[in-house]
Amino acid sequence: MSHSPTDLESQLEPSANNPADPLEAATTTPQAKTDTQVADRLPSNKVEQQRAQASRLMQALRDELEKALIGQSAVIEGVLCTFIAAGHVLIEGVPGLGKTLLVRALAQCFSGQFSRIQFTPDLMPSDVTGHAIYDVASEQFKLRKGPAFTHLLLADEINRAPATTQAALLEVMQERSITLEGQSLAVPLPFMVLATQNPIEQEGTYPLPEAELDRFMVKLHIDYPPEQDEQRLVRAVTRSAHADILDHTTLRALLQPRDMQAIQKIASALPVDDQVLNYAVSLVRRTRQWPGLSSGAGPRASIDLIRYARARALLQGHALVSADDVKHSALNILRHRVHLCVSLAIEGLQVEQVLQQLLDQVPAPRP
């Protein structure tokens, strides 16, 4: 059965195939449900109420994910905003901080498909996209789809594979389709690549090609959790029967894939004032001549900055995109698209420090 993502009301309205409102499932217990409560939670035809409904759903999804990934609220928010904006995310950090758990938990919460690829030096492009195999019985070639045909694709330690294999993701990240034996095959929607990479300084890593880096909407850093959160994490994991990981299967499925598509469309229609849009473009353009940066970001960064700011505004429950939404989004959008001058890199400066100076000095429009 096909579902149109054009109307959140039709997506979330109870039916034989979708009997419960996802917001109701996220905020009530079965014993507390009544016909009146369900009716009160259904969105009307008004855009504002649909937007508020979408915002509450995503906030409930964020709260659910925080039960699984303890002490990483900023990473969770970054991944959710990227998903709402229909982008892709690159996460850098040392192993063992819960990157795989986050993707599994997100897939669990929106009832999506999930695939994981462990990138290694001997991984071939066909191991990502799929290939044709000869069937002796039918004497014909048959297509075998690779793990990239999924809703959420975790490309684990992507920078341990050579550039030819990394480039296998370019088409699907941009077109949401994969060409096999001359056939263009669409992947399920919504679709997001969440790639993890080890710090470049580690042995056995390959830098990602510039064209591929630019396809990632954001780059996030995941660090060790604060002490109190780590205590909570250890307490929760040691009570689990699943060795050294939290059990993500207990998380509630709050959405369906078609609901996520509807939310993405609502976010893309969030109003952006011309002054705010011009401010976003100005930030990106200033990176091209800013002292301390040897190269700046291209137009795709401006586009992604507005898309991500829209998603952040929706997640925060805002009715329109503000300059603060743009400013808070800029580091995630720009840090992997600009390059630090060699002299500053030798001094030990980080690219985020230079970008923060830019954000502090470029005036934002007043509300």
288-317 mean pLDDT = 95
In the chain, where does the domain assigned CATH 1.10.8.80 lie?
270-367
% of the chain surpassing 90 pLDDT: 50
φ, ψ of residue 32 to 5 degrees: the values are -95, 0
Question: Domain 270-367 falls in which CATH fold?
Answer: Helicase, Ruva Protein; domain 3 (1.10.8)
Question: Are residues 148 and 104 in contact, defined by beta-carbon separation less than 8 angstroms?
Answer: no
pLDDT at 114 over 80: yes
Q: What is the pLDDT of residue 6?
A: 43
Domain 8-269 has CATH 3.40.50.300: yes
% of the chain surpassing 70 pLDDT: 84
pLDDT at 212 over 80: yes
pLDDT at 206 over 60: yes
pLDDT at 166 over 90: no
Mean pLDDT lowest among 58-62, 130-134, 263-267: 130-134
What's the one-letter identity of residue 79?
V
Q: What is the pLDDT of residue 18?
A: 46
**β-bridge mates for residue 140, sequence order:** 135
Question: Are residues 169 and 128 in contact, defined by beta-carbon separation less than 8 angstroms?
Answer: yes
Tell me the pLDDT tens digit for each residue of 218-242: 999 888 888 888 888 888 777 766 5
262-285 mean pLDDT = 96
In the chain, where does the domain assigned CATH 3.40.50.300 lie?
8-269
pLDDT at 274 over 60: yes
**C-alpha–C-alpha distance, residues 302 and 62, integer Å:** 26
Mean pLDDT lowest among 29-38, 53-62, 65-74, 289-298: 29-38
- Bridge-based pairing state of the strands 339-340 and 293-295: antiparallel
18-28 mean pLDDT = 45
Look up the pTM and report it: 0.84
* 201 or 97, which is more confident: 97
Q: What is the mean pLDDT of the chain?
A: 83
